[in-house]
Structure 1
Amino acid sequence: MVGVLIRMKLVLLRNSMTGERATGMILGGLGGLTAAAITLALSISLSAHLSVAVDILALVYAMWLLGWILGPILVGGQPALRADHFRFLPIPRLRLATGLLGTAFVSIGTAVTLLAFVSLVTFAVQLGVGPTLVAIPATVLQLLFVLLFSRVATSIFSAVVQSRVGGAIAGLLLATMLFVIQGQWVIIVGIIQSGVLRTGLPPVLSSIIQVLPSSWALVAVEAASQSNWLGVLAALTGLVVIIAILFAVWSRLLVLPGAARTIIRGSSGNLVGARHTWCWRAFSGATRGVISKEVRTWWRDPSHTVKIFLPIGWALLWCLSPLTFGSILALPFTAPALALMAMTSAANLYGEEGTALWVTLLTPGAARHDVRGKQWAWLLIFTPLTILATLVFIPLSGQNWAWPWVLASTPALLGGGVGLLVLVSVMALAPGPDPRQGRANPLEQGNSGGQAIYLFFLGLLPPLPALAVVLSGMLLENNLLCWTGSLVGLVTGIGVAWWFGHIAAQRLEKRGPELLSLMRHGKSQEVRETTPEKAVGRSTFLNTMPQWKQFVFLMLCPTLGSLIFFAQGLAPLIIRLSGSHTRVWFLALYLPTAWQWPVIVFMLLLGLGILGAMVPLYLTHKKVWQSLQTEEGFTAALRKDVFE
């Protein structure tokens, strides 16, 4: 049976390696290979200092285990082959568990992790023959332990996350995972400056790390190097026992009854009382009803609780982590960071509602009220949080120079974000499991990672005019001009929110039936066309673009351009203007003073140039796409005439 399931998974992987999913798998594989190479390098370079090497490798293996716990949660927690696919087949639990465990070895993540755990063998080779013989089976046991622990943790998490408390925990875990992925340089800088690579971990932390099962294989190798064969036997036996326990627990969790829909009762007294206030009466009845529904959804639905705590945790981690190497520059910008991630986490608002969209489509004129209601509800949730973050962290940091920057960027991020998120949600909807059918994991909401990436980079654009005004005021030493940036940010935010919301409402009215069909059938299943007229316009702008152009247009230019413009241009610019001497990883700040400003300007222009390269790509392919649309329309009309 293991062979049959492995062949099934290979077929699924082969057929799913297309488009955005293939790009994500390739990029994830490259990132995993980089991490595995670093692990191997550490096992070789630290071998001269046994205690330091054991401490560092134990910490690294614990991070690999953490990645296997948080990684599946981050992408929705469901592998290609799931237990519920075989629910109605007469297969014993243990046999099914064995087969599914076998398929777990057929994945890019498992291959990369095995390569990283080979570092245990390379480390043992330098200690002698005995440790090497122990390291080989220990590596296999360690890989089995990580895979099974990941499966058990994901299954338990899927049950826990169906409450609001579980949603809050899930949001903080996702924030941690995103920070680890995006902010590795902060962690690396903190580790290097702490001197851990020279002296090892503090004794208490070292003991705690080595007690974890993720370190038992390493403990066995260390014991073998000291000829402590009783310690070797104890460590390996412990791994075997915990693997057996995890396998038994996972086999019991495999085939569970269908997940019931999560129902959380709450009071609506606050909203009822607010109906009589003057600000509540300012909305029309339809818009007021949508706001009421959306606010209740944000408060009661665990998946929306995740979206509230994810930006909070992400902003705090990013702005507090530089404190590890003595920098407080990021602390005042907690509010803008929160606003940016709040927009990104809500990238697929309409996709999450599933086929409930038909209620809006069947109500004349409801699209505009629905879009505006979603915008106001999002603002009611996140505006107080950003105000609180502004009032707390700027005084706490003592960086009063940051007030104009924060007050200029935050309104633009909030307004631009609430406009962009409804527009992207309508124009680039990602279909997922329909909520009316229930979900085992509230995080299973379609493959919206692409939309989140686009929103993250697009959300950085609305604050630019206001920030340019503040920068001009600082360069000209004009305080009035600096504070004018706040007004520019407010006007920009209001304008972008209204304009993009208007476009989203129009798009929803015109393309609503197509969106509903997309949510019902998904991207991979095309609806059979019965008439030539329905075939017109089936090709979209992106699916007619060559794959290498999609990669350049959607991934390379936005990622590389934003990294150079913001991380190597704008960030060192702010550091220089603030008078700080923190250099971190910014290239310009490591150069002589005379070269710093030219390099900062060069990075800003280079980043804008890479981002601007998207424009000719778009314009060139737009002509090709329009010609294809014209050809499809002509062919359909010709076929209609022939058949009639």
Structure 2
Amino acid sequence: MAVAMTMVRMKVAMLRHAYRGQRAQTTGTGAAIGAVLAAGTVYLAFLGPDLLAAGYAVWLLGWVLGPVFTGGGDETLRPEYFAPLGLPPRRLAAGLLTGAFVGVAPLVSLGALIGLAVAGARLGAVNALVAVPAIGLQLAAFVLLSKVVVALVGLALRTRAGAIAAGLLNGAIVAGLGQIWVFMVAFGQTGTPAAVWYLPSGWGLLAVRGQWWALAALAALDLLLLAAWAALLGRRAGATRVSGGGRRPITAGTAAGAVVAKELRTWSRDLVRNHYLAFALSYGVCFAASPLLIGWNGMLPYAGPIFVVMAAGMSSNLYGSDGTALWLTMMAGASDVRGRQLAWLSTQGLVAVALTVGFTAITGGPWPLVLALLVALLGGAAGLVPLVSVLALVPATDPHRRAGNPLRTSEDDGGLTGLAYLMFVLVILTGAPAGLVAVFFGWAGVAVGVVTGVLCWWGFGLLAERRLATHAPELLDTMRTGRKPTSPAKRSFQDLSRTRRNIAGWCFGFGAVPLIPQGILAAVFVANGMLRHSWFLATYMPAGWRYPVAAGFIAVGLAMYGSALWIVRSASNKATT
């Protein structure tokens, strides 16, 4: 107990000092969104037990899959910190588990699990009392399942075979979730699947509804997961195996050729890159092949373009992944960008071409649209990958200094996730012109795709070269210190009073809510006759109030952004005078 309470105090102290500045605003935004989702989950308890069970299944998936794709989850307290103390594995695991309950994600999940108490209270006093231990055991199951899955994936990433297998499995799971409608249609499921009751996420609700064995099963599962995590913590301390045996020496006649050879060697030996490549491949194939379950092969030809978009997102921090070895890049000069572009096309492009040609040949088309998208997206991705990674570099851990959790490649995993989503959007935009032309004019779209692809590859690469030439020392300093250079505007913003700074931060963070969903989208739904739709307030108003309410939300959103900009601008003006 003493160890557990010490870890709790350490976690509270570390979080109190960590949640400041931009990180505090990001955490506050995430907490607010989580609170809304938790409230929506509790509301499901009033609609029916089936919906509540499905909601908890979604929370379970979030706990299991979320940390895998965001750098291993919360590791404020790392097992490596306590290795010199010689604590027994189970005692260490119990202490770390207690500390894991301190944080935003467990608190939000606890709020969602209040739905168990609501469901129990609607059935009777005894059921409401059973909900109390069920909530604690259910939350422990969420946290422990997350820890065990992350530990297993981290262990798999210590070998090439494990890294590839984990990437293929994760890609298939995420693609399946993205195409869940296909499985529902294929298996004739129109309501809540019965399987959600038998997932660990549904055991707490089963116990509340009178099946007392589920409470004992949930306690046994927690103990089993705790023992498994303790065993995996012991394996985590082991040394990471080196991937691959001896290789022929790298030879190249030019500087760009040397960069290409170095990057190709890195793509073949870096286990994290192996994992990312396998994930993108599995996602593209499984997402496009899922409709085969209902007899439709129309998505198969797009496996290649989907793979390109996903692979670009996985490579969005290409320069950051080098760690402090970035100084070698500085000495290579402009040839480094072109070399990395060629290496990226060599590793990702060949796979994309094989997927696209093979699957399109099976279905018989549409050749113009698929080829137009492929060449445009390849060129756009090859240009954007180096450009985005130098413009928005996220400091990453040196590959040889990665902790026992190989998923943790950076301390700013939220930044990595945001960078990946940004890359998805930008790459898709580069393929939009060629796709539109192909839809209306056929093979002319391929020519447009070639032109836009080459221009993106050359133009974005040129911008990346110039950025690297003028800001390489700043990038290296960011990589070494983990802090980005503070611009005068940002310094003036930080000089504001806490009240004005918080107002501006909340306006920037939440201005989109009234402006876009409650304002613009709600007006579109009203115009299309989509009334009483989801959480869009204007769709629930009487006829004469629908457009005014939507317009009012738009005005509120614009006013929030305007207020935030006015505060920032006034701070900048004071700083310059």
TM-score by length of 1: 0.70
CA contact (8 A) 2:134 2:215 kept: yes
After superposition, where does 1:556-575 map in structure 2 within 5 Å?
Answer: none
Aligned counterparts of 2:379 and 2:511: Cα–Cα separation in 1 = 27
**Residue by residue, what CA displacement relative to the aligned partner does 1:520-574 show, whole Å, maximum 9, x if unpaired?**
11128xxxxxxxxxxxx8526667668787888899879x989x999x99xxxxx
- Please state how far the C-alpha of 1:377 moved relative to its aligned partner: 0.9
Match of 2:408 in 1: 444
Q: How big is the shift at 1:503?
A: 2.4
- The whole-number CA distance in structure 2 between the counterparts of 1:303 and 1:122 is 44
SS in structure 2 opposite 1:299? helix
Aligned partners of 2:450 and 2:520: how far apart in 1? 24
Cα distance 1:553–1:425, how it changes in 2: closer, same or farther (>3 A)? farther
* Match status 1:169 vs 2:165: yes
Deviation of 1:27 (Å): 4.7
Partner of 2:205: 218
Query: Partner amino acid for 1:440?
Result: G
Displacement after TM superposition at 1:422 (Å): 0.4
Structure 1, residues 22-70: CA drift from partner, whole Å, max 9, x if none? 45434543554454345434433235xxxxx3xx655544443332222
Identify the match of residue 360 of structure 2 among 382, 394, 416: 394
The answer for the alignment partner of 2:380 in structure 1 is 416
Q: Deviations over 1:346-365 (max 9, x none)?
A: 0111111111122333x4xx
- C-alpha contact (below 8 Å) 1:74/1:174 kept by paired residues: no
The equivalent residue for 2:230 is 251
Kindly state the Cα deviation for residue 247 of structure 1 after the two structures are TM-superposed.
Answer: 2.4
Single out whichever of 259-268 and 291-300 deviates more from structure 2: 259-268
Distance 1:496 1:211, change over 3 A: closer
Counterpart code for 1:43 = A
The Cα of 1:187 is off from its aligned counterpart by 3.7
SS in 2 for 1:349: coil
Q: Distance in 2 between matches of 1:393 and 1:415?
A: 21
1:309 aligns with 278
* Counterpart check, 1:539 vs 2:487: yes
Q: Distance in 1 between matches of 2:254 and 2:292?
A: 49
2:69 corresponds to which of 51, 69, 74:
74
Matches of residues 89-488 of structure 1 in structure 2 within 5 Å? 89=85, 93-172=89-168, 174-175=170-171, 183=178, 187=180, 191=184, 196=189, 198=191, 201=193, 206=195, 212-222=199-209, 224=210, 232=212, 234-254=213-233, 258-266=237-245, 284-320=253-289, 330-361=299-330, 363=331, 366-397=332-363, 400=365, 402-446=366-410, 447=412, 448-470=416-438, 474=440, 481-488=441-448
Post-superposition CA distance 1:214-271 (Å, at most 9, x none) = 443334344x2xxxxxx62x433333233223323333444667553441115757x9
Counterpart of 1:463 in 2: which secondary structure?
A: helix
Separation (CA, whole Å) in 1 of partners of 2:346 and 2:572: 40
Q: CA deviation at 1:287?
A: 1.6
Equivalent pair of 1:339/1:414 in contact (CA under 8 Å): yes
On the 8 A contact 1:348/1:430 being kept in 2, the answer is yes
Name the CA distance, whole Å, in 2 between partners of 1:177 and 1:37. Answer: 27
Partner of 1:578: none
Larger Rg: 1
Which 10-residue stretch deviates more, 165-174 or 485-494? 165-174
Deviation at 1:431, TM superposition (A): 0.8
1:442/1:90 CA distance change after superposition, 3 Å: closer
Q: Distance in 2 between matches of 1:252 and 1:148?
A: 13
Aligned-pair identity in percent equals 35
* Secondary structure, aligned partner of 1:462: helix
> In structure 2, what is the equivalent of residue 43 of structure 1?
45
Equivalent in the alignment of 1:280? none
Q: Is the 8 A contact 1:266 1:300 kept in 2?
A: no
Deviation string for 1:371-400 (max 9, x for gaps)? Answer: 2121111101111222222223335455x4
Distance 2:568 2:182 in 1: 42
Whether contact under 8 Å (1:261, 1:438) holds in the other structure is: no
Alpha-carbon separation, structure 2, partners of 1:147 and 1:521: 32
Measure the CA separation in 1 of the matches of 2:516 and 2:363. Answer: 30
Give the whole-Å Cα distance in 2 for the aligned partners of 1:488 and 1:27: 41
Question: How many Å separate the matches in 2 of 1:356 and 1:264?
Answer: 19
CA distance in 2, matches of 1:381, 1:493: 17
For 1:565 and 1:413, locate their aligned partners in 2 and report how far apart those are by CA, in whole Å. Answer: 30
Quick check: 1:6–1:106 contact (8 Å CA) kept in 2? yes
Residues 477-526 of structure 1, C-alpha deviations (whole Å, 9 max, x = no match): xxxx43222112112111221222222223223322222222111128xx
Q: 1:122 to 1:190 in 2, by over 3 A?
A: farther
Separation in 2 of the partners of 1:61 and 1:450?
A: 26
- Structure 1 Cα separation of the partners of residues 98 and 91 of structure 2: 11
Q: Distance in 2 between matches of 1:425 and 1:549?
A: 28
What CA distance in whole angstroms lies between the structure 1 residues aligned with 2:297 and 2:21? 41
Separation (CA, whole Å) in 1 of partners of 2:167 and 2:488: 34
Helix, strand or coil at the partner of 1:414: helix
Shift of residue 73, structure 1, vs aligned partner = 1.8
Answer yes or no: is the 8 Å Cα contact 2:157–2:271 preserved in 1.
yes
Over 3 Å counting, the alpha-carbon distance change for 1:255 and 1:169 in structure 2 is same
Q: What letter is aligned with 2:224?
A: I
Q: Distance in 2 between matches of 1:555 and 1:292?
A: 46
Cα separation, partners in 2 of 1:164 and 1:322, compared to 1, 3 Å: same
How far apart, CA to CA, are the structure 1 residues paired with 2:386 and 2:394? 13
- Alignment length (residue pairs): 531
Q: Residues 549 and 345 of structure 1: is their aligned pair in 2 closer, same or farther, counting only changes over 3 Å?
A: farther
Amino acid at match of 2:487: S
Distance change (3 Å), C-alpha of 1:520 and 1:414: same
